[in-house]
């Protein structure tokens, strides 16, 4: 008897050699592995070509014709067998380099054959090396699905003779032998209400589809199932975390929160900000631990949400930490919060690498005796010397700059882990968030504060540089400030620094300090000392300089409302999300803002798509979707190690709707039957346990 866990050596046609190869090359060991090794495309074997119709660079073709002549051609090394093959419209050659003697004896002259293979084109003639051959009279008798599966393969498999034809045979045999033991893995109600194919049918049809329509239904069913069980795992993980992990309850909304909310809030919160705040309050008010990711486009107003959450912590007698990836950003948060809280008795300090030792010791002491309420800073916050009296909430801005290890240090800063709010302006596409962060709580600010003007974005070639400079002059004349950003992909690349310095010099030439306008220019880059950086930045913030020449150090968070023009040099070298982040530095004030993307004329098609997307939209989520399509899910920030993305048939980029449906149905199922105890859900429980055993995904995620 053959079961899913039976080794493939029990399948007809799987020799020990083949089994070893399939295991080492494709990781296929059991029958279950083999039947869930899916074709990546299909060839339509209902379609025939005439020789006249053949085109150069065509993929596989199928032709009916007759062999008129066979000869052996001697060549320098070995020889080859060449058959002349004709139909009514023309003649091609069929060529073999192996098995010639046997072929020579068995090939039938002047009998109709179906030949199938990939064409070569050389000196005006087509040939097919090693074609698949079948006499027409046998072709009709053979079990042949109209759409023939093509399986992923490797060079090694090809060289060792495990051809597509053999893969098809092995799959066919496995499905046939396994058939009595193939169990349904979804509840009956799913199949009836969602009109899904039964598992057996789906597996057959995905490997040997009878029609296009059945193939579509089969692959839908299998993709759904794949997503469904991943979602079930993630959701269970979340349930588990919520029931096990305790947090400090912020039971009351007190004086700090209320008086700030009523008297000092400088604007009305947007609907999205209010919704997110409610979500956070719900998390922290109970005895459970908050681990929430807050996504919101640049300028969507995350800071105020962070502040209000901090006030909740303070109202309940806890301290709060606010960590940013750079000194500039930390300093900006510090300034913003001290300004907003100036009417209160709340103590705030800034801790970064450049804080002198004496001041540092004061901060440490005030943290430990509880007189310091809010600590803002960089990585410096994580040092062991930084001990809080009672840390209740940690906010992490731009999470992708911090590693997991660093985050876990924050967890250990109090007896129970403080509540964690991670904020990011790099939107994660919905589908990706569902699969990678499916066990986290996610909040989204999907609404910008009122009155924001869209940033006018244009793409210009380097040759238009003079016109761009002219435009900058006219904007500066109106009192605005300008960023000019250079790519600096790696801090170490001296070439990039040379570009930056050359650019800086040409701008100084174009905008002379001793001319009638008396232009002032700042420059900031990663190789400068922190104090020099801060000094230049401060000059720009105060409006003493009109142009800020910089590298991507200004990418995150910097807020200068009067800066309304962003020029990005060599824009084709930036990734889409980085371009979007950079552009977010402008459009922060009342003036119409602009973003100019300067590039050379030679652009790859991906670069063109990136630039066009930037020109067309400023919606961070749309941009993230395009980015995902261009780069694939494995390259998006923070998802690299995720086992959740190692999918067999589904694909987060193209199957977002199926994923959404699977998640919704998994949520509904767990709500009704959290422990999968009902008789009708035993099929789910069984499949779930089997998957966990097989993949070990469970332990990988946690
Ligand atoms: P980000 O989400 O990029 O961190 P910020 O919190 O820096 O955004 O907010 C961007 C700007 O919008 C700030 O100047 C802030 O004061 C302002 N802002 C935030 N929320 C609102 C609101 N509801 N109405 C008006 N302005 C707001
Ligand atoms: Mg911010």
Structural tokens at position 654: 């193209």
Q: Which ligand is nearest to the CA of 268?
A: 1
In percent, how much of the chain has pLDDT > 70?
A: 93
Q: Is 296 in the pocket of ligand 1 (CB under 6 A)?
A: yes
Lowest mean pLDDT among 70-84, 406-420, 485-499, 558-572: 485-499
- Reported as type and span, the H/E element at residue 8 is none
Lowest mean pLDDT among 125-129, 319-323, 417-421, 528-532: 528-532
Structural tokens at position 291: 């681990």
pLDDT at 698 over 50: no
Q: According to the 3-state scheme, what is the secondary structure of 636-682?
A: CCCCCCCHHHCCCCCCCCCCHHHHHHHHHHHHHHHHHCCCCCCHHHH
- Reported as type and span, the H/E element at residue 356 is none
Mutation to probe ligand 1, out of 275, 299, 326, 396 (largest number of atoms < 8 A from CB): 299
Q: How far is the CA of 118 from the centre of ligand 2 (A)?
A: 56
Name the pLDDT band for 702 (thresholds 50, 70, 90): very low
Name the pLDDT band for 96 (thresholds 50, 70, 90): very high
Specify the pLDDT at position 699.
Answer: 39
Lowest mean pLDDT among 299-313, 332-346, 384-398, 430-444: 430-444
pLDDT at 491 over 70: no
Q: How far is the CA of 303 from the centre of ligand 2 (A)?
A: 6
Q: How far is the CA of 397 from the centre of ligand 2 (A)?
A: 7
Specify the pLDDT at position 63.
Answer: 95
Specify the pLDDT at position 258.
Answer: 96
**Nearest alpha-carbon partner for 665 in 186, 198, 219:** 186
C-alpha 629/C-alpha 650 separation (Å) is: 15
Residue 224 CB partners (closer than 8 Å, separation 6+):
186, 194, 196, 658, 661, 662
**Nearest alpha-carbon partner for 380 in 322, 311, 423:** 322
pLDDT at 195 over 70: yes
What b/e readout covers 15-41, taking b as 16+ CB neighbours within 10 angstroms?
A: eeebbebbeebbebbbbbbbbbbbbee
Between 65 and 413, the more confident residue is 65
For 286-295, what is each residue's pLDDT tens digit? 888 898 989 9
Q: Which ligand is nearest to the CA of 561?
A: 1
Between 68 and 398, the more confident residue is 68
In percent, how much of the chain has pLDDT > 90?
A: 57
pLDDT at 174 over 90: yes
Check if the beta carbon of residue 699 is closer than 8 Å to that of residue 644.
no
**Dihedrals phi, psi of 540, to nearest 5 degrees:** -70, -45
What would the mean pLDDT of 277-291 be, rounded to a whole number?
91
pLDDT at 481 over 80: yes
Mean pLDDT of the chain: 88
User: Cβ of 396: how many Cβ atoms within 10 Å?
Assistant: 24
Specify the pLDDT at position 620.
Answer: 87
Q: Is 269 in the pocket of ligand 1 (CB under 6 A)?
A: yes
Name the pLDDT band for 495 (thresholds 50, 70, 90): low
Closest atom, ligand 1, to C-alpha of 296:
2
Between 170 and 434, the more confident residue is 170
What would the mean pLDDT of 471-494 be, rounded to a whole number?
84
Angle, helices 530-541 vs 327-340, to 10°: value is: 50
Q: Which ligand is nearest to the CA of 396?
A: 2
Q: Is 270 in the pocket of ligand 1 (CB under 6 A)?
A: yes
What would the mean pLDDT of 680-688 be, rounded to a whole number?
93
Mutation to probe ligand 1, out of 335, 449, 561, 587 (largest number of atoms < 8 A from CB): 449
What would the mean pLDDT of 331-342 be, rounded to a whole number?
94
For 614-648, what is each residue's pLDDT tens digit? 999 988 888 988 988 888 776 555 544 455 567 88
CA angle (69, 74, 78) in 5-degree steps: 120
Q: How far is the CA of 558 from the centre of ligand 2 (A)?
A: 8
What would the mean pLDDT of 134-152 be, rounded to a whole number?
79
For 99-114, what is each residue's pLDDT tens digit? 888 888 889 999 999 9
Does this model's pTM top 0.75? My answer is: no
Q: Residue 551: helix, strand or coil by DSSP?
A: coil
Q: How far is the CA of 698 from the centre of ligand 2 (A)?
A: 34
Q: Is 545 in the pocket of ligand 1 (CB under 6 A)?
A: no
pLDDT at 555 over 70: no
């Amino acid at each position: 008897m053959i079961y899913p866990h039976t080794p493939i050596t029990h399948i007809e046609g799987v020799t020990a050699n083949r089994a070893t190869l399939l295991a080492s090359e494709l990781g296929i060991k059991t029958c279950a592995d083999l039947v869930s090794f899916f074709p990546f495309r299909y060839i339509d074997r209902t379609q025939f070509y005439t020789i006249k119709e053949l085109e150069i660079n065509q993929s596989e073709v199928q032709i009916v014709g007759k062999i008129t002549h066979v000869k052996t051609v001697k060549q320098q090394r070995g020889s080859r067998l060449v058959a002349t093959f004709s139909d009514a419209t023309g003649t091609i050659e069929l060529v073999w380099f192996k098995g010639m003697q046997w072929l020579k004896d068995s090939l039938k002259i002047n009998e109709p054959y179906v030949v199938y293979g990939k064409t070569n084109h050389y000196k005006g003639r087509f040939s097919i090396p090693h074609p698949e051959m079948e006499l027409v009279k046998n072709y009709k008798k053979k079990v042949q699905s109209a759409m023939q599966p093509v399986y992923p393969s490797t060079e090694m498999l090809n060289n060792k003779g495990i051809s597509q034809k053999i893969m098809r045979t092995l799959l066919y045999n496995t499905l046939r032998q396994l058939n009595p033991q193939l169990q349904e893995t979804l509840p009956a109600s799913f199949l009836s209400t969602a009109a899904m194919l039964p598992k057996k049918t789906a597996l057959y049809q995905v490997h040997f589809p009878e029609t296009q329509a059945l193939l579509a239904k089969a692959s839908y069913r299998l993709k759904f199932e794949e997503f469904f069980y991943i979602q079930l795992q993630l959701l269970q993980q979340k349930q588990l975390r919520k029931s096990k992990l305790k947090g400090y309850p912020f039971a009351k909304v007190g004086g700090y929160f209320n008086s700030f909310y009523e008297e000092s809030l400088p604007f009305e919160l947007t609907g999205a900000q209010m919704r997110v705040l409610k979500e956070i309050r719900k998390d922290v008010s109970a005895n459970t631990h908050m681990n929430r990711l807050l996504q919101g486009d640049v300028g969507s107003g995350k800071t105020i949400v962070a502040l209000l959450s901090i006030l909740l912590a303070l109202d309940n007698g806890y301290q709060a930490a606010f960590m940013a990836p750079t000194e500039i950003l930390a300093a900006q948060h510090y300034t913003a919060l001290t300004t907003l809280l100036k009417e209160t008795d709340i103590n705030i300090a800034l801790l970064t690498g450049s804080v002198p030792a004496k001041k540092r010791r004061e901060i440490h002491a005030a943290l430990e005796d509880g007189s310091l309420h809010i600590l803002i800073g960089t990585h410096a916050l994580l040092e062991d010397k930084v001990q809080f009296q009672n840390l209740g909430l940690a906010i992490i801005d731009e999470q992708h700059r911090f590693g997991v290890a660093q985050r876990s240090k924050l967890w250990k800063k109090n007896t129970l882990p403080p509540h964690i709010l991670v904020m990011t302006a790099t939107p994660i596409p919905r589908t990706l968030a569902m699969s990678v962060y499916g066990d986290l709580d996610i909040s989204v600010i999907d609404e910008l504060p009122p009155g924001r003007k869209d940033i006018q974005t244009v793409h210009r070639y380097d040759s238009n540089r003079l016109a761009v400079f002219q435009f900058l002059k006219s904007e500066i004349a109106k009192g605005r400030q300008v960023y000019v950003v250079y790519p600096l992909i790696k801090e170490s690349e001296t070439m990039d620094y040379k570009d930056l310095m050359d650019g800086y010099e040409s701008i100084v030439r174009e905008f002379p300090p001793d001319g009638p306008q008396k232009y002032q220019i700042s420059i900031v880059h990663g190789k400068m000392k922190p104090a020099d950086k801060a000094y230049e930045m401060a000059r720009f913030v105060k409006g003493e300089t009109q142009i800020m020449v910089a590298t991507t150090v200004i990418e995150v968070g910097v807020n200068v409302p009067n800066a309304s023009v962003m020029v990005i040099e060599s824009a084709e070298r930036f990734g889409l999300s980085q371009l979007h982040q950079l552009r977010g530095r402008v459009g922060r004030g009342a003036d119409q803002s602009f973003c100019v993307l300067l590039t050379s004329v030679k652009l790859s098609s991906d670069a063109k798509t990136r630039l066009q997307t930037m020109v067309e939209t400023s919606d961070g989520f749309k941009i993230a979707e395009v980015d995902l399509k261009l780069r694939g899910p494995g390259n998006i920030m923070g998802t690299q190690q995720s086992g959740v993305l190692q999918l067999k048939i589904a694909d987060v980029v193209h199957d977002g709707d199926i994923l959404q449906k699977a998640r919704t149905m998994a949520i509904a199922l767990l709500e009704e039957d959290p422990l999968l105890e009902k008789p009708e859900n035993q099929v789910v429980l069984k499949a779930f346990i089997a998957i966990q055993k097989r993949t070990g995904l469970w332990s990988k995620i946690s």
